[in-house]
Amino acid sequence: MPSRRYHEALWQGLPEGFEPSDLPVRRRFLLDRVGAGERVLDVGCGEGRFAAELADAGARVVGVDVAEEPLRRARARHPQLDLRLVPAEGAWDLQDASFDVVWAGEVIEHVADTAAWLSEVRRVLRSGGSLLLSTPAHAPLTLMRLACSRHAFASHFDPLGDHLRFYSRHTLAGLLADFGFTAIEVRSAGGPPWVRRVLLARAIRRRYCPRRRY
């Protein structure tokens, strides 16, 4: 499968044991919003760093990724974790409404079919469950810097780069609302506005309200 080969090749080019970007701020955001005993799906779990942190905090975690290489590394480092391969396109082999929380750290910007991906996220979340995600921020000052610097623009929007989508607080919140999420909170964190910052989002899967019969 071409997309599987693509993702495997990306991971083969990454050193083992590298530290995830914005680790302290993303870890604090995640652990502050997940309770012990909750069922958590870590989408794009990579080498399992966040999945292991969640498990240590008492959550019941399943980690999934679209490439075998990160899962191989994660199994070697964290053999206690439940780690599974899922397709880059199509349905995941996970039951409907089977998780209290879905965590997707630095994943959504890599997704080609965002509509299908968010539909799967919504499907596996229980009614009232939480979606937590992070993605690079593209605030007005960031965009101004990119527009004013040919080098910065070329580096950031590298035609061969693996980031396919670029989000601001407004566009991310609007996207989540379009896919049946409510109580949406999106904030930016990290460094000053003119350097890398990260968006941190929390949204609730809208509860199903059966129509009354009269």
Q: Which residue reads 């965590």 in tokens?
A: 103
- Looking at residue 182, what is its pLDDT? 97
Our CA angle for 43, 46, 52, nearest 5°, is 85
In sequence order, what DSSP letters do the residues of 167-202 get, joined into one string?
B-HHHHHHHHHHTTEEEEEEEEEES-TTS-EEEEEE
Mean pLDDT rounded to a whole number for the chain: 87
Nearest to 185 by CA among 206, 196, 198, 199: 199
| pLDDT tens by residue, 112-157 | 999 999 999 999 999 999 999 999 986 655 655 655 666 655 565 5
- Looking at residue 18, what is its pLDDT? 85
- Percentage of the chain modeled with pLDDT above 70: 81
CA dihedral 171, 173, 179, 182 (to 10 degrees): -170
* Region 180-207 average pLDDT: 86
- Looking at residue 3, what is its pLDDT? 76
CATH homologous superfamily of 2-8+20-205: Vaccinia Virus protein VP39 (3.40.50.150)
Crossing angle for the helix pair 23-31 and 49-56, nearest 10 degrees?
40
Q: In what order do the strands lie in the sheet with 60-65?
A: 82-85, 60-65, 39-43, 99-105, 125-136, 197-205, 181-190
**pTM, entire model:** 0.86
Ranges of each domain in the chain? 2-8+20-205
Write down how long the chain is.
214
